[in-house]
Amino acid sequence: MPIASLTETLQFASDGFINGAFYGLIGLSFGLIVAVTGRFHFAWAVAFAISGYFAAYLINHNQFAILPAVLIGVAGGVLFSVLLELLVYRPVARRAGPNALLGVFVASFGITIAGQALIQLIVQSRIASEPLNWIPIDSQDVGGVTFTTLDIWAVGVFWACAVLTWALLRFTPLGREIEAVRVNPMMARVVGIRTGRTYVVVFVIGSLLGGIAAIFFAMDNAATADMGTEPVFYAFVVAFLAGLGSSPLWIMLVGTLLGVVEGLSAELFSPQWQTVVVFGILLALLVIKAAHAWRPTVFRIPAALAR
């Protein structure tokens, strides 16, 4: 392979690695909520947009300092998700009974559509996007592969968030409570764990991770009222591919691998085919799992894929 071609391949792989760290964190954010609470929190997209868009808006139009604006934006996204759990998801799940998953999804989907319009209504701005300038985007070059200072910060922060989440879930009493609720909510209640409170804590943790990802997304792409629409689909794909309830580090690894595959597909085919490749992988896994469920002795799959 010519040197120029090798450099180009490394560039695509590097871009995929950077994007993959983002995919891993949002997959962890979304997957943690779904795995523990059983709520298909599609309105995660709105919480994501609140965190990134309002942080940028407060800086650009209200002369807020960057750090307070970011904290307010992320706190707004967290508060939005917690209020949805308390005021919408929990009552819907109580009334829906066995159909709680579907009921919550329908409610969440409707809130997502309304929420994006509500953001624009609140700010009353005709500007489609808001820039968020915090970490300098200085170009770096290593062996012909280029990336930015922001990329370095993003990958480091995303993986640090994953490691901290992994440590929290594995080594703390709160983490053990969360794991107990995820595995068997009824038994957790029997031994005295307040599952409702645990659900709220999980929404806080998951939304905080999503908010951090949203801030970096806004710095890299600019913030819009619907900026969470595409990420929520990637978050679902990563959470599903990794397996609900998987280790945060495994979810990050799956997200990173997905990003690298997506990046290399741009070289092999074209950038327009990247999304097709990602969702093609999801479709292939669905087919494999369906075949395994139909004939488990014939279609054997690794335990990691069976989850």
DSSP calls for 16-75: HHHHHHHHHHHHHHHHHHHHHH----TTHHHHHHHHHHHHHHHHHHH---HHHHHHHHHH
- pTM exceeds 0.85 for this model: yes
Give tens-digit pLDDT for 47-106: 999 999 999 999 998 889 999 999 999 999 999 999 999 999 999 999 988 788 888 999
- Domain residue spans of the chain: 30-228
Percentage of the chain exceeding pLDDT 90: 61
Provide the residue type at 115 as one letter.
G
| Lowest mean pLDDT segment, chosen from 93-97, 166-170, 176-180, 217-221 | 93-97
Give tens-digit pLDDT for 150-162: 999 999 999 999 9
State residue 296's pLDDT score: 65
CA distance 116 to 224: 9
Helix (H, G, I), strand (E, B), or coil: what is residue 172? coil
Give tens-digit pLDDT for 103-128: 899 999 999 999 988 888 887 666 67
Residue 95, token pair as written in the block: 């009334």
Give tens-digit pLDDT for 197-256: 999 999 999 999 999 999 999 999 989 989 999 999 999 999 988 988 899 999 999 999
